[in-house]
Structures are given as structure tokens and as C-alpha cells.
Amino acid sequence: MSSVAPVSVDRRVDRGLAEPLARDIRKTGIDPNYWYPLARARDVRRSGTLGVSFAGEPIVLARTEKGQVFALEDRCAHRQVPLSLGEVKGDRLLCSYHCWAYNATGACVNVPYLDKDKSLPNGVRSYPCVEAYGLVFVFPGDVDSPNVDDFPQIATQGNPAYKTRYLDRKIKCHYSFMHENLMDMNHQFLHRSLMGSINPKALAIREGDGWVEVDYTFHRAAGKQPIGEKFMLGKRKKAPNAKANAREDMDIMTIRTGYPYQTLQFWTAGSDEPALDLWNAYVPTDGEQRENQTYGLMMVRKPGIPGAINLLWPFIILFTNGIFGQDKDIVEAEQRAFDAQGEDWNNEVFPIIQKLRHLLVNQGVEINYD
Ligand code: FES
Ligand SMILES: [Fe+2]
């Protein structure tokens, strides 16, 4: 009987495969000095409230009777109960307990039982808040940061040539796993039951201040193109002139992390406009940032026949739900492995993901574990 001697593994040496990171990526907080979507706009009802959170900070979104949305700390200045339990009257948010009233700036503007000659108590923190692209965005960081003026641009959303699918789901993992999962197309094996056998090829890597991106092309090694994918991306063509192997003869996918957002665009060979344009934000909800609310806008270019997109849509939904479900399961498994280990043991060998990991760490902030 032969036996195999156990290999002793020094994790610190293994991690030497890549340049060491400045800190543990899974213990890196996301920089709050950006605009983050915290809700779907439709979930903040007129004269209603919605309790949300950003990296453990409770935030209430409220919509006035006239339809304006504002964001306040979700903690009454009186006895710290959530203001999201309260109600909106006109343009004021009334705490459910003793009816202290707050306006959109967070100022306490009325305490019903306070003598008129007494001054009103301090209010609560308010956050810059903008409704756009069917989402409610909040700027949870420092209002004096220049990034307040840098609102995310999602050009394709609202373009009538595209139909938008909204993705909004809680995923129990650190946001960095999400970036790595989407950018690393070498995980097509995970999706083999839905997509067959696809071989990705990284064509080019680019990077700059606060961003990294990669171009891929693909070829099918076995199996047929799934129908949902065909409806979404069009039928994959063989390169018309395979010998030339020019970029315009290939299907190209570009995935970019432009901190803190991530985009994916897919062009079929020879097309000027992407068949698919995806914009994602992964917003940590808890203080340790081990969970995130993923907001995605998936813009799919409509086929030439009017209304056809609506017939294809259920197939596209089914297909993308299948893929996202597999991704969700695997990144949550990665988070559980990290929790069991207590530190990141990743042995990254793929250059773009190494760059991405440095980007996420270097742009991030300390997590306060108090
Ligand atoms: S706790 Fe909010 S008014 Fe008293
Ligand atoms: Fe995936």
C-alpha cells in the first residue's frame, strides 16, 4: 500500500505568490466617501419610511407627501428608537414614540409638548440623498469630500434602445468577493450546468488611478449556447475571418472596477454598441462588512423587432437568476471559509485579480471593530 506524506503548508509562504496586500482584504472597509444606492426608489413609498443601513450605520429614507426623498440617521435624538418606525406628514418625519418632528436636514422642528418659549433640542444627522436610475443614493461619508460632486454616471440606463433589469439582493459576504467573482472569468466551470463549457481568454489589462479593467473573449469548447444567453447577447458568431483574429472579429467582454462600482459590457463581434451593459454596487450593510446588498442595473439591448424584448425577457430573467444563484452560493461559501480561518488565505495567480485586490485594499478604509 502506498501512502502519501502530508504536505505541510505555510500559508504565509503561499501568499507570497502575489505581492502582499497592505491589509487583509476581507477586513477592509469600503470608503464611505462615495455615493451608494441604499434602496430601490419604488420601495420608498410616498409619505413612507424605509430603514436601511450602510456598514452598520442605521439610516432612514423618507419620502415626503410631494415625493421628495431624504435620508437621516435612523435614531431619534430623544430616546434613540428608529425613526423608520415613525410616519411622514407633509415634509416632516414624526418619531413614532413622542412625535418629535424632523425636517429633511435632520433638524428637530417640533416637540409637541414643549413650552413655546423653550428652545428645540438638537436633531439628527442628515445625509446627501439623490434619487436616480430607479435607485435612492446616499453619500454616507464626509459632506466636505470633493467626491460629493462625483455622482455615478450610468449612460445606458434610460436609453430607449435598452431594457433595464434591476437586481437587488442581500449576499452574505464581504463586498470584495463580489468584485473578484465578476472580474475573474476563469470561474466559468462553476456555471457549467447552465452554460456548458466556455473558455475565456484575457486579452488585455488596463489600470489607472482608482480603476482596473480587463478584456476577455470566449470560445465554446463544448455544448450549445443556452437559450437565455442567446436572447440576451445574440447568437455567438464564429469569427468571420478567423485567421485575422482582429478585435472587431471577436466577442469582447470588458469588466471594470472603477472604485467602488463595477461594470461589465459585452459587445458581439463587429458591433459598436454593447449588447449588455451591467452596472453594480455592492453595499456593506453590517459593521464588520460581512454582508452586502448588491444593486445591479442590467441593460440589455433590444432586438430590432418592436416588443420582442418583452417576449425574450422571461428567458433572460431565468438564465441570469440561475447564474447569479450559483455565484451567490459560492461567494457565501468563500465568506464562511474566511470566517472559519479568521484571515484571507487567497493564493491568487491571475494578474488582473491581483491588481483588483490591491485596488480594493488601497482604496478602502479601516473597519472599526468596537
Ligand atoms: S423617542 Fe422619538 S420622540 Fe421620543
Ligand atoms: Fe459567475
Residue 245 and residue 102 share a domain: no
Nearest ligand 1 atom, CA 100 = 3
Residue 289 and residue 359 share a domain: yes
Residue 166 and residue 117 share a domain: no
Residue 204 and residue 80 share a domain: no
Whether the full predicted model's pTM is greater than 0.95, yes or no, is: no
Percent of the chain with pLDDT over 90: 79
Answer yes or no: is 318 within a domain.
Answer: yes
pLDDT of residue 244: 47
Residue 217 and residue 99 share a domain: no
Residue 171 and residue 94 share a domain: no
Residue 224 and residue 170 share a domain: yes
Residues in contact with ligand 1 by the CB-under-6-Å rule are 76, 78-79, 81, 95, 97-98, 100
What average pLDDT does the structure give for the chain?
91
3-state secondary structure of 87: strand
Residue 185 and residue 104 share a domain: no
Residue 288 and residue 196 share a domain: yes
Q: Using CA positions, which residue lies closest to atom 4 of ligand 1?
A: 98
Q: How far is CA 296 from the centre of its chain?
A: 6
Domain boundary among 103, 128, 153: 128
Answer yes or no: is 155 within a domain.
Answer: no
Answer yes or no: is 26 within a domain.
Answer: no
Q: Which residue stretches of the chain are H helix?
A: 11-14, 175-183, 192-195, 227-233, 308-341, 351-363
3-state secondary structure of 246: coil
Answer yes or no: is 192 within a domain.
Answer: yes
pLDDT of residue 12: 46
Rounded CA-CA distance 142/86 in Å is 27
Domain boundary among 128, 150, 173: 128
Answer yes or no: is 67 within a domain.
Answer: yes
* Distance (Å) from CA 86 to ligand 1 centroid: 9
| Structural domain range at position 266 | 162-366
- Please check the confidence at residue 159 and state whether its pLDDT lies above 50: yes
* Distance (Å) from CA 61 to ligand 1 centroid: 17
Residue 120 and residue 266 share a domain: no
- Please check the confidence at residue 360 and state whether its pLDDT lies above 50: yes
Residue 187 and residue 58 share a domain: no
pLDDT of residue 250: 87
The CATH number given to whatever domain includes residue 216 is: 3.90.380.10
* Distance (Å) from CA 96 to ligand 1 centroid: 7
Judged by its nearest atom, the ligand closest to the C-alpha of residue 99 is 1
* Distance (Å) from CA 235 to ligand 2 centroid: 20
pLDDT of residue 41: 98
Write out pLDDT tens, residues 312-322.
999 999 999 99
Residue 217 confidence class, pLDDT cut points 50, 70, 90: very high
Q: Which residue stretches of 212-293 are H helix?
A: 227-233
Least confident of 125-134, 199-208, 229-238: 229-238
Write out pLDDT tens, residues 84-134.
999 999 999 999 999 999 999 999 999 999 999 999 999 999 999 999 999
Name the residue among 148, 136, 145, 141 with its Cα closest to residue 293: 136
Nearest ligand 1 atom, CA 86 = 2
- Please check the confidence at residue 239 and state whether its pLDDT lies above 80: no
Write out pLDDT tens, residues 22-73.
999 999 999 999 999 999 999 999 999 999 999 999 999 999 999 999 999 9
Answer yes or no: is 306 within a domain.
Answer: yes
Domains of the chain: total: 2
* Distance (Å) from CA 370 to ligand 1 centroid: 26
Nearest ligand 1 atom, CA 98 = 3
Residue 96 and residue 214 share a domain: no
